[in-house]
Amino acid sequence: MKVAISTDQGHVSAHFGRCPSYTIVEIEKGQILKQEEIPNPGHQPGFLPQYLSKINVNCIIAGGMGPRAQSLFAQKNIETIIGVQGSVDEVIEKLINQELEIGEDLCDHRDGMGKHAEHPFHGAHHHKEEGKKHGTKGKICFTSLGKDINSELDPKFGRAQYFLIIDPETSQVEFFENPNKETFQGAGILTAQFISRKDVSTVVTGGCGPNARRVLESAGIRVVEGVSGKINDLLEKFKTEVKQ
């Protein structure tokens, strides 16, 4: 695994493309093989995905990144993890220990009217692919830190501890342990493929990488991210949204 971390004076930069430098880390079997900091080689459109792909980077960590840039990296099969804060050394340690916390995108991406787009759940990010129908009804899959509906939402998708699949109409709950949570590379895509076989219409999580999101949306599954809280409370908010 080769990771590029947007860096600004030893901390994760909020902006991937315009950060002063990148920390490049090679990791194998939980060990750091090589770590170096390189200056930002440039921010021309489409340059960084090609440049980082050529030096075999397959994962990017940053505070924030625009959706177009995420799409370009996904085309190069490079996973993007955004909403990350803290010192670079701490982030690397948490990544190795699979304890990396993902928050909200720190870049301020706005719509053409200069206002934040509206999303289901306050503060959440709603993604959908053009041309596909994503219903607000059907089973909902929540990433979960525990095994029941009173558990906290897991902020991670690909390496979530558990999944709770709930039918809002019947209140039936299915529980699954994530078979890919210990997978060191490609967990997001494998988990998305796993969930796409579970007959759900919506996934609710703290954060979902672009590659995993692409797999889910290609299966007609709506992705709601940037969410936190107890699953039973989130479920009630979702039911309210559907009724409106």
Instruction: Please report the pLDDT score of residue 142 as a whole number.
Output: 96
Q: Are strands 173-177 and 162-166 parallel, antiparallel or unpaired?
A: antiparallel
Could you give the percent of the chain with pLDDT greater than 70? 82
Domains, the chain, with CATH or none: 2-96 (3.30.420.130), 125-243 (3.30.420.130)
Q: What is the pTM of this model?
A: 0.50
In Å, what is the CA distance from 64 to each residue of 18, 45, 56, 114, 120?
Answer: 11, 16, 21, 18, 21
In sequence order, the 6+-apart residues with CB closer than 8 A to the CB of 108 are none
Instruction: Please report the pLDDT score of residue 133 as a whole number.
Output: 37
Q: 112 pLDDT band (50/70/90 cuts)? A: very low
Apex 149 CA angle, 216 and 151, nearest 5: 90
Lowest mean pLDDT among 168-177, 201-210, 231-240: 231-240
**Whether residue 89 has pLDDT greater than 70:** yes
In angstroms, rounded to a whole number, what is the distance separating the alpha carbons of residues 188 and 35?
Answer: 24
Q: Which two tokens stand for residue 115?
A: 């206002």
**Whether residue 110 has pLDDT greater than 60:** no
Query: At which residue do the structure tokens 């021309």 appear?
Result: 44
What count of Cα atoms within 13 Å lies in the side-chain half-sphere of residue 204? 31
In angstroms, rounded to a whole number, what is the distance separating the alpha carbons of residues 1 and 186?
Answer: 10
Q: Rounded to a whole number, what is the largest CA-CA distance in the chain? A: 55
In sequence order, the 6+-apart residues with CB closer than 8 A to the CB of 2 are 24, 25, 26, 27, 55, 56, 57, 58, 59
Instruction: Please report the pLDDT score of residue 29 as a whole number.
Output: 84
Query: What pairs with residue 4 in β-bridges?
Result: 24, 60
Instruction: Please report the pLDDT score of residue 117 as a whole number.
Output: 36
